[in-house]
Amino acid sequence: DAEITQSPRHKITETGRQVTLACHQTWNHNNMFWYRQDLGHGLRLIHYSYGVQDTNKGEVSDGYSVSRSNTEDLPLTLESAASSQTSVYFCASSESLASEQYFGPGTRLTVT
């Protein structure tokens, strides 16, 4: 069965370190998205991609970057982790805007 996975599921890191969160989907979807979930804000879009070599900034992209070298993967990098980036991160994929998004299980990141 097709799926979308994230790793690690939990991560604790120190301020200033570079961190990369992995997202892998086997749906063969062109569209992939990274969100963060914070109390009072719901899901906010960090970056998204329409296909290989395509990346776009979302609502809260400062301090984050993504790259899309193949259809299956969209890793999210925190260049220099900050305490404000402590959050739960969800990756999602979809065929199109008119198609449902499939969400990964989430990664809980704590920056100390």
Interface contacts to other proteins, rule CB under 8 A: 31, 33, 35, 40-45, 48, 50, 56, 58-59, 90, 96-106
* Closer to other proteins by Cβ: residue 18 or 26: 26
* Closer to other proteins by Cβ: residue 17 or 50: 50
Closest distance of CB 10 from other proteins, Å: 13
Cis, peptide link before residue 8, omega less than 30° from 0: yes
Closest distance of CB 41 from other proteins, Å: 7
* Closer to other proteins by Cβ: residue 60 or 81: 60
Burial class (CB in 10 A: 0-12, 13-18, 19+), 66: buried
* Closer to other proteins by Cβ: residue 14 or 38: 38
Closest distance of CB 90 from other proteins, Å: 7
Which segments within 14-106 are labelled E, that is strand?
A: 19-25, 31-38, 42-49, 56-57, 64-66, 76-78, 87-94, 102-103
Radius of gyration of the chain measured on its C-alpha atoms: 13
Q: Which amino acid is at 34?
A: W
Closest distance of CB 34 from other proteins, Å: 11
